[in-house]
Copies of this chain bind each other. A is one copy, B any other.
Amino acid sequence: MNAEATPTLQETPEDQIKALRANPQPTLRAVSPGMEQHLYTPYKVLDHGFVRVVDYMGDDAAIVQAARVSYGAGTKAARDDSGLIRYLMRHWHSTPFEMCEIKLHVKLPVFVARQWIRHRTANVNEYSARYSILDREFYIPAAEDLAAQSVVNNQGRGEALTGEEAARVLRYLQDDAARSYDHYEEMISQDGQQGLARELARMNLPANIYTQWYWKVDLHNLFHFLRLRADAHAQYEIRVYAEQMCKLVADWVPAAYGAFEDYRMGGVNLSAKGIEVIKRRLSGEEVTQETSGMSKGEWREFAAVFAG
């Protein structure tokens, strides 16, 4: 990107963070006490990853303020604000939630980054492997996370591998990563040779190598991300990031997060057919997949929530 400074992937030393945390400055902006306590702290995810809050804008009151389009306020009781936030969430009013913003520093394996980046409504600055050298750090799953392919679902996971098979998989992942990185280092070395361009050498590195980025997003789009990625059907390796982020958001905007949990994470979208089936059942009728008008897949998902 520029010829003057070489960024590195190493974490900020602990003493530097301590210094930052020791020097609060006065501001007139909205402050979220729940979030202040998390600022700059890297919360560990997977074996070498982390999520760290770098900055934030707004709090629960900022959502309410935008919804009321009058900024002073402070006059309303907390209970009213919380009720208004629940109303906004229930009725899919997205713009007031867009008034809050968060900036995260995330360290994550490349294959997780590839899923993550599909959410386009965010700002991203990723570590550049054209310009800089990647660190020798790879995600190697814990034994209990070495899942087999699901036999009922083309996309899901089954039980954890065991015995010799599990051992062989781990060996492959470790050995291939190590060898690829050795060759990466050897190819870019300028010790007694020209040295391959970094932008080319990186192509030898596997998708479990770690990268880093700054990721900035508004609360509405963050909720959308969390609904999809903290969901039980999301891949485990991205879900753990989403779950960590849920904890941070719960402390940042407790009322909004509560509404999100009730209406989005814990809620369900019912089709016109689904409403009809429930009404028939409430009126005492027995309904089966055959009489429901639903396909088998649809019925299975419906029954998983409301039983048969």
Contact = CB atoms under 8 A, between A and B. Distances in A.
A200 interface: yes
Interface string A106-119: 00011100100110
B196 A207 contact: no
A99 B23 CA distance: 22
Contact of A69 (B69, B125, B235, B270): B125
30 contacts: A1-B67, A2-B84, A2-B88, A3-B154, A3-B297, A4-B84, A4-B87, A7-B68, A12-B71, A21-B28, A27-B29, A27-B36, A28-B36, A40-B71, A95-B118, A99-B216, A120-B121, A139-B203, A141-B200, A148-B195, A148-B196, A157-B200, A173-B203, A179-B179, A205-B206, A262-B272, A263-B271, A266-B272, A269-B270, A279-B307
Contacts of A165: 193-194
Nearest to A293: B262
Nearest to A173: B204
Contacts of A159: 194
Interface residues of A, dominant DSSP: mixed
A225 interface: no
B28 A40 contact: yes
Contact of A196 (B17, B146, B156): B146
Contact of A267 (B93, B172, B272): B272
Given A114-B114, A235-B130, A69 B213 contact: yes
A28 B58 CA distance: 14
B114 A69 contact: no
A159 B156 CA distance: 46
Contacts of A193: 165
Contacts of A262: 271-273
A8 B73 CA distance: 11
